[in-house]
């Protein structure tokens, strides 16, 4: 068994919302890598970053992603999952869709949410840096992309379904 759909993209691209919506439409399970890590470790992502450091989080992220890719349903990866060469290799040949978002829309959606440790302080500036680094990586792993700016989650879900 393997995931029917894998969503990648920046924080604020709507991976979790759209992923849950599509899983509900299809009557399939939905998993969000961040949420699975939080449940297993018993800490929020922000607490893992603060207590254990980013490298520990990235190691959990890499192993949890590898495991969940082989489970059925819809899977939302963390925005930084594509930084891992092992994860990029594991995504080859999978039904990966990149939810694209511009900085302005991502910043609006993320807001001042303290659950995202990498965005604390200067959300817009940090998103610019993340997107500059990661845009080529999302493009590398994705089979298709969907523009999410000014779209409702339902519209984005429709666009993903229209990819076939």
State the residues that interact with ligand S3P by CB under 6 A. 11, 15, 34, 45, 78-80, 116-118, 130
Minimum CB distance to ligand S3P, residue 164 (Å) = 25
Minimum CB distance to ligand S3P, residue 81 (Å) = 7
Nearer to ligand S3P, 1 or 87 (CB): 87
Nearer to ligand S3P, 1 or 69 (CB): 69
25-28: Cβ within 8 A, 24+ apart:
25/157, 25/161, 26/74, 28/4, 28/72, 28/73, 28/74
- β-strands 30-32, 5-8 pairing: unpaired
> What is each CA distance from 16 to 28, 86, 125, in whole angstroms?
14, 22, 23
Minimum CB distance to ligand S3P, residue 95 (Å) = 19
Please name every residue paired with 8 in a beta bridge, in sequence order, or none if there are none: 98
Please name every residue paired with 147 in a beta bridge, in sequence order, or none if there are none: 100
Kindly report the CA angle at 96 between 115 and 84, in degrees rounded to 5?
Answer: 60
Minimum CB distance to ligand S3P, residue 9 (Å) = 7
Nearer to ligand S3P, 73 or 80 (CB): 80
Nearer to ligand S3P, 17 or 151 (CB): 17
Minimum CB distance to ligand S3P, residue 34 (Å) = 5
Burial tier of 129 (Cβ tally within 10 Å: 0-12, 13-18, 19+): exposed
Backbone angles phi, psi at 87, to 5 degrees: -70, -40
Nearer to ligand S3P, 15 or 105 (CB): 15
């Amino acid at each position: 068994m393997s995931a029917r759909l894998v969503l990648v993209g920046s924080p604020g691209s709507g991976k979790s919302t759209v992923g849950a919506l599509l899983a509900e439409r299809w009557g399939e399970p939905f998993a969000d890598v961040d949420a699975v890590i939080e449940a297993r470790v018993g800490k929020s992502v922000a607490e893992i970053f603060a207590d254990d450091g980013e490298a520990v989080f990235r190691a959990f992220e890499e192993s949890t992603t590898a495991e969940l890719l082989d489970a059925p349903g819809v899977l939302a990866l963390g925005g930084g999952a594509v930084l891992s060469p092992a994860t990029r290799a594991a995504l080859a040949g999978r039904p990966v869709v990149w939810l694209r978002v511009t900085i302005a829309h991502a910043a609006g959606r993320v807001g001042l949410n303290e659950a995202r440790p990498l965005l604390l302080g200067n959300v817009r500036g940090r998103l610019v840096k993340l997107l500059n680094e990661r845009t080529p990586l999302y493009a590398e792993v994705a089979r298709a992309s969907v523009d999410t700016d000014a779209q409702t989650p339902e519209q984005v879900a429709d666009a993903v379904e229209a990819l076939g």
